[in-house]
Structure formats: structure tokens, C-alpha cells
Structure 1
């Protein structure tokens, strides 16, 4: 590309190489290859469904061995809350009326929102009348700086829950509370890492400074909380519909955040042995979190069991030149049934010298234990994916990664009975206790291209391989069914009226 001097300066300031920008333009031109779904997962074929007895056993294993590791709870929390209120913005702008079903539900349930008392206080003397007549002043007070400013704040700082004793909690508070129950190591230290946007960093730090001492006393745990910002070097260039660099009105190139896949760099910088990953908005009121706690520990136990065996096999294979047929078969069964990796037929053609090296390479990778929930008609989720070399692996797949023009692919997609809920427990160190370089285990061919707009003009935007999709494509993977009670996301403000969030 023929970039001018200002372009080169802008690219350099972001910390991106010109070669990387040109590579992104090539991606726009050529697109990303589709994933080739082989089959949906089901119990006994890529999915583990734990009995109550197994859940108890894995909880015990985690409490005996898992807490001896350095545990970190990693929470992507950089998203602004504005998307939660799309319906209310439409109402303010006159696109919909007070008779719209969603607007009616908002006003009908107003007193049940945990932020109701704060909202009344921000309305002052006008509160009772404004609520009674369903005045737009109520929404203005909720969303703008004239009131609670929820249209600007991150989801992390929205009041999600109110309890019988009058206590209210923000979304971020519930992660501190959860962490006390399953994220504490044997010394009682709870380590949490939040990825936040630069514009919200000070607000989040101020809030944590207020509540951390309270929870330290309440739960008898010591909190160590760290933060990071999505690296600007992970931003991607936007292009027009002809794949030429998209420019803003002032002539500058338009770069956009690369999606949650950009957080792989942040995750890679975490110093820990076992990392729990969960979205900021997936929390429930505390009366409902027992399943969450039990299954998080159980997933941790599944990880500990897998690591124990993987580390044993790695130590066996690292210094051998050949293995007998019985050990080879034992390893192949373990890798397929416990790590979600089916060897291609070509493996049989490898020499006795090649096989141990290949098996070692497959074993010596990061491990993710992924909670999934039973669901129908969701599209994306956990699948067996067939690769060009004949290998089959377990992957979390987005619908956008599948060619919907192919009937067989659509059939497999629609046959899925499970959905991804971004509930992961990750082992990020090898058998020698060394941290994996997670950047080496992503698949750069698994990004996304979507149409967006800026300044009234249509553009194409690129997202990097998703954090729990392509960014973890070359991890060993275990899918475990977890109860729906562990999945309580808040995507719109009306979700806060569901029983899971009515404390």
C-alpha cells in the first residue's frame, strides 16, 4: 500500500507494523477460510456430563490439589454498558413510544431494578411525578450525566443486585464475592484481573478501593487485584467496500478495536498456574450462586486430573525415542477421549521415532476446561472440527465461522444441543512449571470480518481470532455440561428483571 507520511506516523504510534496493516488488507481481500464442522458434541463424544458423585469428587480434588496452585480469575470488563440500553435510546429519540412492549416492561418493573433508589435520588423532587407519568426524564436521569450516567459507565459499575438487608452490588462486586468462594488459594489469597478501558480505569479503581476492605472482612480473604487495558497495537484497520483503507473526515486512517481476541495478549501476561475466565455480566444474585461455585471447583478438578496425567505422559515421552504399541494405544485413547484431539489416518504411517515426538507435542499444550449449557437452536457452540490434514479437534465455534451456503454444515450447526457460555478454567503452564507462550497456540485464520458504519458510511471491520475461539484453537480442550443456573448474562437492562438478578 502507498501510505503517506501521516499514515506511517499514525501506524507507528499505535505500535503496529506496516507489514501487519498490509496483511490485514490482504485478509479483507481474500477473507478468512470457513471452519469445517464434522459433528456436534454429545455426551460420550466430546462432552462430559458429570454425575453428582463425580461433581463432589472433582470438587474434593480441586480443594486438595488445585488450591496449591496460583489461581487467577480473569474477567474481560472493558465493555461499555451503552448497548444494554438501545431500546431506551430509541425511546428518547422518538423512534419508539412509551407504548412499546419493552419500554412498558421497563417502566412496569422500574421499582424492581436494583438501581431504583439511586435513580429516584438523581431525579430529586421530580421523582414521583416523573415515574408515575412515565416521563422521559426518568430515562434521561438513568443514561446521561444529568443522573446516573449509565450510558457512559462500563457494565462493571452498574448496580445489578439489591438484597433484603438493603445492600446493593455492582456487577464487579459479584466477581469479588464469587472469587472468595472458589478463587482463593491455600493461603486465602484471591487474585482477580480485570481488563478495562482507559476511560473507565480510574472509576473502577476508585470503586474497588471502597469495596475491597468490606469483602476482605466479610469473607476473611485477602484480595490482590490487577488491571490491564487492551493493547492499541491489536487494533485493526477498517476498509471501505472496495477494500481500500477507510479514512475519517480529517483524512486519518480508521483503526478499530480487534474484539475480545485482542485480550489474548492480556491473558498471556497473567502470572498464574490456573486461570478462571468469565465475562463481567455473567453473574447472579448470591442466593443462586451455589451451582456456580460447585461447578467452578468441579471444572478446576477436571483440569487438575487432566494435568496430572498429561504431565506424567510428557515426562515419560520427553527422553524416549520409541514407545511400544500398548503405550501408543493408551496415549491415543487418552488424547482423543480426554483432550479432544483425534489423530488423522496418516498417523499410522509415521515411524516409531516420529510418533513419540508428535504425541509429546500434542500433549504439551495449554488446556482449557469449558463449561457449556444445554440449549437448542443457538447456532454457535462446541463442535468437532475437521482440519485439512484429517485431524479432528474440539472447538468453540461462532456461526460466522461456518459456511451457511453448505447444507451439510448448516445441518451440523442446527443439530447442536449445547451452547458456549464463556466459562473456562485454563491450565497455562507446562509439565515443567513453565508458562506457555499463548500467542503460539492461536489460529490466525479464524478472525471475523463484519460490515459496520462510521460517519454515515459503510465499512468493513476485522476482529482478531476470538479469545475462546481461534485464539485458543490449538489448546487441548475438554467440554463439560454445567447447569443453566451458572449462566446469567445481562445483555439488556430488562435482563436485570429476571429472577436470577432479583436478589
Structure 2
């Protein structure tokens, strides 16, 4: 299509090219392929179950060698807390405390009843109540309505508009901690090299000052409790990863002033931020997955276990890569077994017919990739992605984390594979970002661009289609070497709704 002079200026201002935008528009027209599931990854068939003795061995190994590596923790933290309070926003819109019967209302809204029953146990309870002088004298309907109003409205605490990481998550005897502060403390207990921890948060530019306002107090708390210095860095999702939005007929969606609309490309865009890190080993974890102090020792142990497994695998992988590079390989069998049994590589059907030099070239390609070790928890019905064996359009079979939106659930055979799934992706990754020479991989070269998503959204009441880039731990890491490891459900404690803060892993004994 032809773009106006203004269109071209907007595209260039975003650091993009007309050709790139044209490719995105073509993607909307052509559509995207669904992921073909071959089988669910299960224990012994794509997921490793680590014996207790090996768990302690990996932890000791990590503790012994960690000072030789540059280690970072990477936390996507730009998401707003709006969805945490969805049922409370609905309550404020649909309940009139002057007219409606609160008891009757809660019978049809069980989430609200849970919220009310746990009101005093929320870490922000005292802060909210300070804004309501007559709180204790109110009946339950007025009390709940006023509480929710102060919590969410812009003339109150406005929590729904804040990043989830800046909300109070845990109340202790002498302090309240946000998810942001808990991540710093957690990093000081496992993401440490030479006595220092490095943590990187990806945030929205408009909230940078809010994070920095909390930073110094949080750092003092962490250093007081652990003696570890924590260095914190922030970055933003790059405008160059924004994607053009279209109308339902796949023409560019335009704003009232005629300008083309671009939208953030989703968390898959953060592969660029991850790629910018100068680190050997990176722990990746979501902002809302934290626990109170009483449970942290177990969480830390499994983080170290995953890191120890990664470093063990890297050592062996690097040794083979060096032998191949130096031309000293004599028997390919041991390397082939390592790739298939330890790194889950599935060779293409033509592999056995290749000449030895061709096999060596193929083996070099398999070895020369970033490695990720991903914790997986038993499926307890949580929404989200899971571990599967997949097959791409070139016939390559590999382990992937697949979201339900990527699957063809209309196909009965694909539904059956989905039903056979036993584990869930809690976003608990440890990543090796350098090759055997200590050179950083260009992570953008290992992205499957076809694993993007097309979703329906709206803007100013008008429907639109949006293009989301391949998810950070989905298609953005599609061509990595992947190891899935079973970890206990205790390590997975997300706060998807405000009521999750009432669970034991978020409720300190004060």
C-alpha cells in the first residue's frame, strides 16, 4: 500500500521502516500458522524429575562456581495492576450502596465475598482505612464500597493504574513490602556473584520515577537483611518493537487525527532488552511471583538447582563445541547422545544419510545456541502456557512452551494432546546467554517470527486487530536448547487477582 508523507515520518520516528510495516500488514492478511503439537511433555518424556540427592548436588555446584560468572535477574515489570481488581471495578459500577442489598449482591459475586471476608488481612488495609474516618461505623455495603473506591479511584490510592510491582504485597510486623522489594530481596539470596546481585526490571517510562522512589528504601532493607549489595537497572520496551494496528478489514487503523496507530508488541518484544544484558547467566521471573520470607528458602533452593543444572549442561556443551571447532572429534556417538538425551535435540530424518563433515556442521549448529532450563509445575488448572513437543513447518520437532492461543483446539487430535498435559509453565527460567568462547549470542537470531499472535482489541470504542510478537518464553526462544525440569507448586505464587494475596504464601504471621 502507499503511505502518506506523515505516515512515513511516524514510521521513521519509531525507528522502523516502511518495509517492516508492510510486512506486518501482510501478516494480518495472510494470518499466522497455529503450533502443531506432537505430544505433551511429561516426566521422562521431555520433563526431568530431579532426585533429592541430585538437587543438593546441583545447588552445591552452583554455590561453588557462581563467582566465575556474571549473573543477573531479569523481571518484566511494566504490567498495570488493573486486571487484579477486575471484580472490584465491576462492583463499583454495578452496586449502589444507597439502594442495593449487599448480602444479596455477594451471593452472585463470590469473589467479592472472599475479598470482604479477608479485608483486614490485605497488606493495604490500614492505608485505605486512614482515608475513611467513619469506616467502623458503616454497614458492610457502605464499608466495602468506600474501601474499594479509595483503593481504586484516581482521587484515592489509584492502585489499579499502578504497575503491579509497586503495590503492597506482604505485611510484616514492622513493614509492608511491594513485589518490587521482594524481588530485590530474593535476588540477594540466589542471583549473587562476588557478593553482589544485579537485577534488571523492564518498566513503563511513565512509572520510572515511581520505581525509583521506592528503590533506596528497598535497597536498605535488602542490605540490612542479607549484607548483599544489589545493583538495579531499568529499561523500557523499545519503540522499534511496536506493531501497527489494523481495522477488521486489515487496513491500517487510524486515530482521530488520521495518524496510524502503533501498539506495544507484547512481552515478546523484551527479547531485545534481554539481548542487551551483559551477563552469562540470567534468571527470568514474573513480577507477581514472589513469596513471604517463611517460604523463600525453598524457592531459593530450586532456583539454585535450576542454575546448577544449566551450568553443568553448559560445561559439557562447551567442551563438545570446543572439540568440534578444533577438529579433534573422533566419535560422534557420544555427542549425538548428549544432544538427544541432555538437550532434547531431535535430529531431522535426513541426518543419518549425511556425510561426516555434514553431520559435524549440523552438530555445531545444534550446540551453538543459548540454553534455557525451565521449571515446570504440575498442572492445577491455571490458565496459560505449558510444555509440549511441537513440529514446525520444516518438520523440526522440539520442546516449546505453548500458549493456548497458539493451538488449534478445533482439531480433536490437538485437543487430546492438550488434555494429556501434566505440567504448566510458571515462568521460572535460567538462561545461558553466551557461547563457549564467552561471546554473547544475538538472541534475535533464535526467534520464530511465525509464532506471533493476532488478537482483537479496541480503541476509543472501535474494534481493531493487534499483532503481538512471539512471546518471550514462547516463540522468542523457539530455537534455543530447552530443558524442562519439574519444580514444586510452592515455587509458583502469582497474584493474578487481589484475592490471591490471601493465600498462605502471601500471608506473613504478624
- State if a TM-score over 0.5 links the two structures: yes
Q: Contact 2:202/2:235 (CA < 8 Å) preserved in 1?
A: yes
CA 1:138–1:490: 2 relative to 1, 3 Å: same
Which residue does 2:148 correspond to in 1? 139
Partner secondary structure for residue 234 of structure 2? strand
Partner secondary structure for residue 143 of structure 2? coil
- Residue 460 of structure 1 pairs with residue 456 of structure 2: no
- Residue 350 of structure 1 pairs with residue 358 of structure 2: no
Partner secondary structure for residue 408 of structure 2? coil
- Residue 435 of structure 1 pairs with residue 440 of structure 2: yes
Q: 5 Å matches for 1:465-476?
A: 465-476=470-481
Cα displacement (A) at 1:135: 4.5
Cα-to-partner distance string for 1:369-388 (whole Å, 9 max, x where unaligned): 00000115567311111234
Question: Which range moves more in the overlay, 475-484 or 36-45?
Answer: 36-45
Q: Distance in 2 between matches of 1:74 and 1:39?
A: 30
Cα-to-partner distance string for 1:231-265 (whole Å, 9 max, x where unaligned): 11111111111111111222221111100001011
Counterpart of 2:413 (choices 405, 408, 417) is 408
Q: Distance in 2 between matches of 1:379 and 1:193?
A: 24
Q: Distance in 2 between matches of 1:129 and 1:272?
A: 56
Counterpart of 2:111 (choices 99, 102, 127) is 102
Which residue does 2:245 correspond to in 1? 238
- Residue 482 of structure 1 pairs with residue 487 of structure 2: yes
Cα displacement (A) at 1:134: 2.5
Q: Distance in 2 between matches of 1:469 and 1:215?
A: 32
Cα-to-partner distance string for 1:43-77 (whole Å, 9 max, x where unaligned): 22211101111110000010011342111000000
Partner secondary structure for residue 408 of structure 1? helix
Q: Contact 1:303/1:368 (CA < 8 Å) preserved in 2?
A: yes
Counterpart of 1:156 (choices 165, 169, 172) is 165
Cα-to-partner distance string for 1:364-421 (whole Å, 9 max, x where unaligned): 1100000000115567311111234433211111111112222211111111101101
- Residue 112 of structure 1 pairs with residue 121 of structure 2: yes
Cα displacement (A) at 1:39: 1.0
Runs of 4+ in 1 over 4 A off after TM superposition: 95-98, 376-379
Q: Contact 1:401/1:446 (CA < 8 Å) preserved in 2?
A: yes
- Residue 370 of structure 1 pairs with residue 377 of structure 2: no
- Residue 447 of structure 1 pairs with residue 462 of structure 2: no
Q: Contact 1:189/1:222 (CA < 8 Å) preserved in 2?
A: yes
CA 1:414–1:67: 2 relative to 1, 3 Å: farther
Q: Contact 1:130/1:138 (CA < 8 Å) preserved in 2?
A: no
Partner secondary structure for residue 271 of structure 1? coil
Q: 5 Å matches for 1:257-276?
A: 257-276=264-283
Partner secondary structure for residue 151 of structure 1? helix
- Residue 57 of structure 1 pairs with residue 57 of structure 2: yes
Question: Which range moves more in the overlay, 215-224 or 372-381?
Answer: 372-381
Q: Contact 2:135/2:143 (CA < 8 Å) preserved in 1?
A: no
Partner secondary structure for residue 258 of structure 2? coil
Q: Distance in 2 between matches of 1:114 and 1:217?
A: 22
Q: Distance in 1 between matches of 2:116 and 2:422?
A: 35
The number of residues matched between the two structures is 497
Q: Distance in 2 between matches of 1:337 and 1:129?
A: 66
Q: Contact 1:82/1:152 (CA < 8 Å) preserved in 2?
A: yes
Which residue does 2:41 correspond to in 1? 41
Counterpart of 2:425 (choices 420, 426, 433) is 420
Cα displacement (A) at 1:38: 1.0
Partner secondary structure for residue 289 of structure 1? helix
Cα-to-partner distance string for 1:82-128 (whole Å, 9 max, x where unaligned): 111111111111179742222222122110101111111233x2332
Partner secondary structure for residue 318 of structure 2? helix
Q: Contact 2:449/2:470 (CA < 8 Å) preserved in 1?
A: yes
Cα displacement (A) at 1:131: 7.3
Cα-to-partner distance string for 1:252-292 (whole Å, 9 max, x where unaligned): 21111100001011100011110000000001111112221
CA 1:131–1:190: 2 relative to 1, 3 Å: farther
Question: Which range moves more in the overlay, 259-268 or 328-337?
Answer: 328-337
Partner secondary structure for residue 244 of structure 1? coil
Question: Which range moves more in the overlay, 21-30 or 284-293?
Answer: 284-293
Which residue does 1:6 correspond to in 2? 6
- Residue 286 of structure 1 pairs with residue 293 of structure 2: yes
- Residue 251 of structure 1 pairs with residue 258 of structure 2: yes
Q: Distance in 1 between matches of 2:178 and 2:384?
A: 31
Q: Distance in 2 between matches of 1:67 and 1:494?
A: 40
Q: Distance in 2 between matches of 1:95 and 1:67?
A: 57
Q: Contact 2:344/2:481 (CA < 8 Å) preserved in 1?
A: yes
Partner secondary structure for residue 332 of structure 2? helix
Partner secondary structure for residue 158 of structure 2? coil
Q: Distance in 2 between matches of 1:168 and 1:425?
A: 29
Partner secondary structure for residue 350 of structure 2? helix
Question: Which range moves more in the overlay, 375-384 or 304-313?
Answer: 375-384
Q: Distance in 2 between matches of 1:246 and 1:80?
A: 24
Gap runs ≥5 in structure 1: none
Which residue does 1:174 correspond to in 2? 182
Q: Distance in 2 between matches of 1:345 and 1:263?
A: 34
Q: Contact 2:66/2:192 (CA < 8 Å) preserved in 1?
A: no
Q: Contact 1:448/1:465 (CA < 8 Å) preserved in 2?
A: yes
Q: Contact 2:299/2:490 (CA < 8 Å) preserved in 1?
A: yes
Gap runs ≥5 in structure 2: none
Q: TM-score, normalised by structure 1?
A: 0.96
- Residue 127 of structure 1 pairs with residue 132 of structure 2: no
